[in-house]
Amino acid sequence: MTPLVTAPHLDIDALLIDPSKRIIVCTGSGGVGKTTTAAALGVRAAELGRSVCVLTIDPARRLAQAMGLSSLDNTPRLVAGVGKTTELGTGSLHAMMLDMKRTFDEVVEAHADADRAAQILTNPFYQALSSSFAGTQEYMAMEKLGQLRSQADDEGLWDLIIVDTPPSRSALDFLDAPARLGSFLDGRFIRILTAPARGAGRGIGKLAAMGFGIFTGVLSKILGAQVLNDVGTFVAAIDSTFGGFRERAEVTYTLLQDQGTSFIVIAAPEPDALREASYFVERLRHDAMPLAGLVLNRVQPISATSLSSEQAMAAAERLRERDDVPDSRLTADLLDLHAQRMRTWTRQSHLAQRFTSAHPGVAIATVPALAEDVHDLAGLNEIGDLLAARDN
Amino acid sequence: MTSTPSADLNTGRPALWPGVELHVVSGKGGTGKTTVAAALALALARDGKRALLMEVEGRQGIAQLFDVPPLPYEERVVAVAPNGGEVWALAVDAEEALLDYLELFYNLRRAGSALRKMGAVDFVTTIAPGLRDVLLTGKACEVVRRSDKSAIDAYDAVIIDAPPTGRITRFLNVNAEVSGLAKMGPIRNHADLVMSVIASPRTAVHLVTLLEEMPVQETVDGIADLRANDLPVGGIFVNMIRPDIVSEPLNESVEAAAITAALSSVGITSSSINLGQVLIDEGNDHSRRTALQSRELLRIQETGLPVIELPFLTDGVDLGGLYELAQVMTDSGVR
């Protein structure tokens, strides 16, 4: 059978059994099957004898049920009935869903005394920030990843963490949002808001010409005085308890550059998803982050690439004129179907090949489109088999 | 420039969304929401009308679809609609929208660069919860409200290629979003103005889905969510429907040998694989898929909303494909 693309094969099992791998990050644009892939990798790694924790962000209900996650309680739960004992050890699977507000609250509670924590938790700006800012999810996913990693060292319940990334505007948000939020919280804007008295003398520089009063005046016009006040109070409270948000984000960022981490970029064989995957691959290279390869999901399954679309259509046409041949109508229909599938497969193959031309070294694993959705562990196992299969 | 619904005599079907000027297109990631938004713009612009297609997530997907250079923050023509008519496009950038807002309401555009240096623009457009969305939806509402003044640059329809279903209610419900942040003041007033367009009969939120379990579930949940927040739901665009090619049902009595024989009667043979069996397997896989499609289509129809069924384009979506989808929409009563 002809492979879809001539790229090197991404050997999923080799990656999963490599004991030096401690973190696998699944990323890609929305709707390409990131969460399902992360879950399937988790199940397979446990079956290969690894003790795994899967951190999912926003799983579909049925997928969550498949992993036995009925509630969103922000704590890893043991998934019953998964894992085998092999020479690698006793396999097990923990899974959890991220609750970003809860994670943020816990960070505050862990670092501030009770009074100050209460002050922060009830601040209107904090409440809006912790529950709705698009970047909070990315930031908290990173935070949680850091926590799970320390827990791995302390408690030893898992030695491999598989992370699903949030459904962002762009896959790059996962890398950028934490730094953005961190630099905002540590940044000049906040210094000015929180220290108007010293602000005139520090940090503003030539902008002093504009006049600090005018600056805050404009901001009040845009935001309203009450918002500015809330932001100021929030930052003052949070700053004195555990400053260095940017530092925290940088620590996790460094963790992602470690050789114990691998990124898997996930895409569907469509122009948008592959373009996004391309951006991400370039970014990972630029930031020296270890890329394992690309998983291409939902590929048109095809078994007889030797019968081309044109041949099949021509044969179907001839068969429709042959009343003397049994099953001629049905066979003609099946040939038309095959012709369509071949056309889709050929288009997908071109798209994948274009990606490979741009990134020749990137290994690829393909997973055929399944007729039905995943409902249970058996379904996740099946996807794991397909991911690890060599014949793409 | 609002046209009368009876002006279009192309189809006998009643117009699906009379009086709607703002069409918000959302859907789960990977369902083809940008494609549907673009085809919808073509359908709404036909017969000499003007439609504006807006992008709010900075992905430049519209430019790719229409095969034009990346869109600036400036309205420009990207396509000519069937039977005359123009599709314009605009990539809304939160930062530019903020400067627009400052100029429009406070005559403060020049303050922009100073604010940027202080990190304030960054704060408003990316950090402060909800403000980014108010700016983006605010721009759409500004364009829609041009028709109130019969402005020369008004459009018959504005189409937003919006964020996915998971974030759409939050994106549109700017009032609720900023209310936690600003109980009163200019932002709050602006949000109220935006809501007066979005939560009105001038707007319809459409969801794009595939006939698969996860997207359908997300669509059903999304509709409930939109309704619970009093946002006007328009219709459901069912994308990439696979045709029911195999006219005869494939039952177990079909023999691979018979298919192989029929194939060889027209000269198709293979020495290495059992072609008859391969084709039967493909037929069975297809039947499972179409059976699932029918089941999921029922769930979509149970919502009681208008359903527009769009075919799977075997050769992918190019400009020709967009016109094909636009024609299907026109035939379904989109105008």
DSSP result, A136-164: HHHHHHHHHHHHHHHHHHHH-S-SEEEEE
Q: Which residue has the higher pLDDT, B236 or A28?
A: B236
Radius of gyration of chain B (CA): 23
pLDDT reported for residue B7: 43
Contact residues, B window 295-334, toward A, CB-based 8 Å cutoff: 314-316
Confidence of residue A368 (pLDDT cuts 50, 70, 90): very high
Whether A66 shows a pLDDT value over 60: the answer reads yes
Q: Which residue has the higher pLDDT, A308 or A169?
A: A308
pLDDT tens digits, one per residue of A329-338: 999 999 999 9
- Chain B residues inside the 8 Å CB shell of A131: 129
Query: From residue A120, how far is each of A138, A179, A184, A231 by CA, in Å?
Result: 21, 21, 17, 11
pLDDT tens digits, one per residue of B34-70: 999 999 999 999 999 999 999 998 788 899 999 999 9
Considering only the beta carbons, identify the residue of A30, A275, A334 that sits closest to B246.
Answer: A334
Whether A209 shows a pLDDT value over 60: the answer reads no
Query: How many whole angstroms separate alpha carbon A262 and alpha carbon A45?
Result: 14
Helix axes A134-155, A124-132, angle to 10 degrees: 80
- Chain B residues inside the 8 Å CB shell of A129: 127, 129
Q: Does A301 touch chain B (CB under 8 A)?
A: yes
- Average pLDDT, whole number, for chain B? 88
pLDDT reported for residue B207: 98
pLDDT tens digits, one per residue of A5-27: 889 999 999 999 999 999 999 99
Q: Is A263 exposed, middle or buried (0-12, 13-18, 19+ CB in 10 A)?
A: buried
pLDDT reported for residue A222: 67
A vs B, Cβ pairs < 8 A, gives 229
| B213 with A372: Cβ contact below 8 A | yes
- Chain B residues inside the 8 Å CB shell of A279: none
Mean pLDDT over A124-128 rounds to: 83
Contact residues, A window 31-70, toward B, CB-based 8 Å cutoff: 31-32, 58, 60-62
Contact residues, A window 86-115, toward B, CB-based 8 Å cutoff: none
pLDDT reported for residue A72: 58
pLDDT reported for residue B305: 97
- Average pLDDT, whole number, for chain A? 85
pLDDT reported for residue A293: 97
pLDDT reported for residue B275: 93
- What percent of chain A has pLDDT above 90? 48
Considering only the beta carbons, identify the residue of A192, A343, A371 that sits closest to B315.
Answer: A343
Confidence of residue A206 (pLDDT cuts 50, 70, 90): very low
For the ranges A175-189, A242-256, A287-301, the maximum mean pLDDT occurs at: A287-301
Question: What is the pTM for the complete model shown?
Answer: 0.89
| A125 with B181: Cβ contact below 8 A | yes
Name residues of chain B where pLDDT drops below 50. 1-9
- Chain B residues inside the 8 Å CB shell of A268: 30
Whether A265 shows a pLDDT value over 90: the answer reads yes
Which residues, listed in sequence order, are joined to residue A9 by a DSSP beta bridge?
Answer: A364
| A45 contact partners, CB below 8 Å, separation of at least 6 | A16, A52, A91, A93, A160, A162
Query: How many whole angstroms separate alpha carbon A222 and alpha carbon A232?
Result: 16
* Nearest Cα residue in chain B from A340: B314
| A373 with B111: Cβ contact below 8 A | no
| A336 with B184: Cβ contact below 8 A | no
Confidence of residue A278 (pLDDT cuts 50, 70, 90): very high
Q: Does A330 touch chain B (CB under 8 A)?
A: yes
Whether A339 shows a pLDDT value over 80: the answer reads yes
pLDDT reported for residue A192: 67
- Chain A residues inside the 8 Å CB shell of B37: none
Mean pLDDT over A169-175 rounds to: 70
| B185 with A227: Cβ contact below 8 A | yes
Confidence of residue A250 (pLDDT cuts 50, 70, 90): confident
| A371 with B288: Cβ contact below 8 A | yes
pLDDT reported for residue B307: 97
Please, are residues A116 and A108 in contact by the beta-carbon 8 Å criterion? no
